[in-house]
Every structure is written in structure tokens, then in C-alpha cells.
Amino acid sequence: MKLFVYALTALFFLSCQDQAKEASAASQTNTDAPKNVILLIGDGMGLSQLSSAQYYGEGTPNLEQFPVVGLIKTSSSAQLITDSAAGATAFACGVKSYNGAIGVAGDSTAVANLPELLLEKNMVSGVVATSTITHATPASFYAHQVSRNMHEAIAQDLANSNLNYFAGGGLKYFNKRSDSLNLLSELTAKGFQLDTAKIPSTLSDKMGVFVADNALPKAVEGRGDFLSQASLQAVACLSQNDQAFFLMIEGSQIDWGGHDNDADYLIGEMLDFDKTLGAVLEFAKNDGNTLVVVTADHETGGFTLGSNRGNYNSINPTFSTDGHSGTMIPVLAYGPGSENFGGIYENSEIFHKIMSLLK
């Protein structure tokens, strides 16, 4: 009987210790609040796309510098396999919606996005992409439209938005419109410094950069360092006067390489994205107050890195589809609050985790 009592006492003591440890761990969650948040989205980037940077890049990929790794589930509200619009709306607005939705819920009503909500916290925001700036992913961070295909309406939403910085393609949706409106004039009247040829060398409080009528060229066809340079300029613009900021950066064309089943295209975009990760991480490390989160809206192409005819020293990149797949997507995090991004959860939780840290 005494042994039984001793055993119960020991179990109780150990249980109390475990509960104390759990309480201590819980109390540490959300203790480190970032000042700035940079969200990088590799459109169409699954685990094999990430892994390609390991095999085809020079040296150790920058993505290996992230200490926290998680996984997200990506189904949209109406489809098992999401598209970029529903995926980005989940990140930007914290709700699951239907494929094609831009900043709206399943009933087509507008839902506030991160830049709109963070303005209430005196934070400024920006978006950078290698697609048109009206494409599904960047659009979800400033626009509210029932369809991703409504590029001219999305462009009008950008002109009416509270963004302080944007860079990408899509100039034609602002100055060659079917309604003859010149949104460049509207943006200039609202204080934007606009450049329609290159990334400018000077800074202002509001900046817009269009370097193509449509999307930018492929990385393997001479796009250069646009993504990393525009991202660093966005950081410089948004952080002027010690301002807190939110920035979304999209490696847009990883997705397009997957849709084309073009391994060289995809890998070139992935390496360009990883280079941008390095530039952003260097800023975050020096700053000390910036949370960096890297993820993707979905995987594209069913991309795999199989052996080349059984030769385990040779990789043969292959595809199983020219569309999206339903695999879970990696999340990488660095900086204050990064510990909150480990585990397995829904893609919409990215939004809620960011908002919980910026109270």
C-alpha cells in the first residue's frame, strides 16, 4: 500500500512539473513582439522547389538560415486545391475563401487586409512582385474584388489603397485602360513618386515602380536582381523616420515554371527567390526587430527531384501535373515571434499569428 501511495505521489509530482513546464512555455509565446514584418511568398513553392536551391545553387541556400519550420494546409473554402487568389486572401485577410477571390469572403463581402488593419497601428505597408502588380497574390494585400481576372478594377483599388510602396509589372492596367482613366495621374496626385522604367535611386514617402507593361521577364532571360533590389528599396522606403512596416514580397514566377513544366525556368526563379531571402535576412539580422516569414500559397506542377534512370548521383526534375497540387506547404520563420510559426496549421493562421504579435 505504501509503495502505491509513493507511486501516486511521484506521479503527481511529475505531473505538476510537466504542467509548470507547459505553463512556462505558454508564457513565453508571443513575448517577443516584432516591430516590422516581412512576408515572402514563393508562389507555387513546395518542398521540392525549396530543395532545388540546395542542389542547383552555389553554396548553402539562404533558406537554411531559418531556425523555425512549420507546415500549412492550403485548401480553399470551396476547393480541395487552392489557387493563388484564395491562398493569398487567407494570408492577407485571415479567412478561407473560394478560388479566384481577391480580399473577399466566401459570400463576396470585403474583408479587411493586413495593410488596412496595420494602418490603425501606424504601420506603413508595401508589396513587391515579379508578376503584374495586379496579379492574384499582390492584389490580395490591397484589393477587394470577386474575381482575380478583374485587373483594371484591381488597379483602381491600388490607387485607392493605403500602400506606401509597390513594385512589379502591369503598367498597362494603369495607363492603357478600357475606361481611358489614367491612374498614374491619380497616384501622382496622391503623392507617389512613380518610375516606369527602372528602380529609382532616390527615396520618397510613397513610391511606385512599374518596369513592364505586363509581367517581368524570367530570371533565366535576364531579369537581373529586380526582386532583391526592389525588396531592399521597399524596406528603405517604408522604414524611413524609424517607421514600423509590413512588406509582402512575392517570387511570382516559381509558379509559372511549374505550370509550364519547365524545370530550368522554375529553378531559376527559385534561386532568385533564395537570393532575395538572403538580402532580407541580412536586413533583419542587423535590425533585430523584424520578423521574417517565408511560405507559399500552394505547390505547382507536382514537382519532384527523382533519380535519373536509377542513378542516385544524378537528379532528374520531373512534373506530375501542369496545375496545382494539394500538398502541405513549408513555413520558415526568423526573428522576434518566429517561434509561433512552427507546427501544422491552416494557411489562414499566418494572418492571425502576425496580428497576434502586433498588438
Q: Which cell goes with 332? A: 520558415
- Please say whether the beta carbons of 346 and 87 come within 8 A: no
- Please say whether the beta carbons of 16 and 24 come within 8 A: no
Which position among 48, 84, 97, 348 bears the catalytic label? 84
290-295 and 329-334: which strand pairing? antiparallel
C-alpha distances out from residue 199 to 51, 125, 202, 226, 307, Å = 30, 18, 9, 8, 41
Q: Which cell goes with 340? A: 509561433
228 catalytic, yes or no? no
| Distance from C-alpha of 84 to C-alpha of 347, rounded to nearest angstrom | 12
| Distance from C-alpha of 350 to C-alpha of 293, rounded to nearest angstrom | 9
Active site residues: 84
